[in-house]
Structure formats: structure tokens, C-alpha cells
Structure 1
Amino acid sequence: MQITFGLDELQQVAQQILATPHLKKVITFHAEMGVGKTTLIKELVRQLGVNDHSSSPTFSLVNEYRTDKGEAVYHFDLYRLKSEEEAYDMGIDEYFYSGDWCFIEWPDKTPNLIPIDHATISITQTKDGLRVLELKN
């Protein structure tokens, strides 16, 4: 699936992503800094039924949320991760194989720990400020 959108269309984009048939619960996000990975994840988390304020887990590596149905949603920002060993030591693989939603920014920091069966969202920004999103499920 490919979608071109403006930031004012983020709610509809998140709805389209979550409506993807058989969408995998582990999703990696690929984009340059400032293109909107965190903003999109915040909207996905909200649409999944999380009522708490969500933010980037830049300093803690992972934020955990609960949906209104009690399901866990994990948001990872691996940008500051120094090694895969550091991620493994924190038990990151347990999150990834939990069966819960895992939204992962900067997954290239842990290439050997990401489950083979995952979805990928790539976002690029056009010269006129629109975003082009490609979902591979």
C-alpha cells in the first residue's frame, strides 16, 4: 500500500494502516529524522484505544501503553541504542515476540533482533511537504 498525504490527513492514514487485512503487530518505521515517524505512531496508538498521552521514548527506549481493552502497545525509539547487545540485555526480544503491538523507530539499530515476520512502514517527504508512506505487510 502506498499513500501520499499531508499532516492534516494523519487520522485517515492511521485508520487505513490499521484496516490493513492481517496487519502484523510488529511494525518497523523507516524515515529520516523529522519526517513524522513519532507523529504517526502517536496517532496509531490513539486509534488503538490508548487514552494516555503518548510521546517518543527517546530516553527510555520503550514506552508502554494500555488500550481501553487492556491490550499492551509498545513504542520503541532505538536511536540512542549503542549496540544490539544493549537491546538484548534489556529484554527487547521478549517485547517483540509478545504478540502485542510493537512500533519500532530506528530498527536498523537491532537488525538481528527484529522478528522476520513484521510489517514495514517507510515514509519520505516530498519537496512540497507531503509525505509518501509505503506499507509492506
Structure 2
Amino acid sequence: MEITFSLEEIDGAAQKLLDANIKNIILFHGSMGAGKTTFIKALARRLGVKDMTGSPTFSLVNEYETEDGKTLYHFDLYRLNSEEEAYDMGIDEYFYSGNLCLIEWPEKTPNLIPLDHTAVSLKELPDGRRQLTVN
């Protein structure tokens, strides 16, 4: 699946992803500034999260409650120094909790990512819109 969208269309693009056959573990690939955090915020809005803050850059993971009482975890692994550091924080427990896990910079923990996941790539187009590809 491929979706091209502008910032004004981001909520609709997020809903299209949620309507697709996606897994509970969603990996977000893209360069710095591609819009990973912004897209994850749109996903959270579509799920009814009311108190979404920014990216969990310093805490590595933020936990949110969706409108229907489910838990959503948002990971930003950019500042992670090693897979061991992620393992020590109990990242595998989050991944196998059955809750939705949205993961930025998953390439920092390639050996810890569950095989059963959805991979999303985001890139900025020359006109400023974003192209989202689901693998």
C-alpha cells in the first residue's frame, strides 16, 4: 500500500493505515524530518488519544490510553546506544504485551523486533507532501 498526503490530509492517511491489515508492532522508517512523529501523532488522534505529547526522545517510550481503553506505546529509539540498553529497559515486554507499539528508528534494535510486524516507510517529496509505503 502506498499513500501520498499533505499535512492537511494526514488524519485521513492515518485512518487509511489503521483500516489496513496491520500488526500491533509498527516500525516507522524514514530520515530525520520525514514526519514519523507527526504521523504517529495523527494515528494516536485517530485512536482517540487525548494527551499525546511529543516524541519520547529522552524517555525512549511514552504510554497513552486510546479512546476504547487500550494502551498504545510510542517508542523513539534514536538516542539508544545499544540493543542491550533496550533489552535492559524491558523493551521485549512492551513488544509482546499485545498492545499497539509504534516504533521510530527500529533499526537501532534489529535483533529485538518481533518478526510479526508491519513496516512503514515515510519520505518527503519535492513538493513537501509525504509518501507512506507499507511493506
Q: TM-score range by the shorter chain?
A: over 0.9
Structure 1 segments of 4+ aligned residues over 6 angstroms from their partners: none
How far is the alpha carbon of 1:53 from its aligned partner?
2.8
| Alpha-carbon distance, 1:39 to partner | 0.3
1:116 corresponds to: 115
Q: Which amino acid aligns with 1:53?
A: M
Within 1, Cα distance between the matches of 2:71 and 2:52? 15
1:16 shift after superposition: 0.2
TM-score by length of 2: 0.97
TM-score between the two structures when normalised by the length of structure 1: 0.95
CA contact (8 A) 2:124 2:131 kept: yes
Structure 2: gaps (5+ residues): none
What SS does the corresponding residue of 1:99 show, helix, strand or coil? coil
1:2-17 mapped onto 2 (5 Å cutoff): 2-17=2-17
Identical-residue share of aligned pairs (%): 61
Report if the CA contact (8 A) 1:45-1:54 is conserved. Answer: no
**Residue type of the alignment partner of 1:36:** G
Q: How many residues were matched structurally?
A: 135
Query: What CA RMSD, in Å, does the superposition of the two structures yield over aligned residues?
Result: 0.8
- Partner SS for 1:81: coil
Tell me if 1:89 matches 2:88. yes
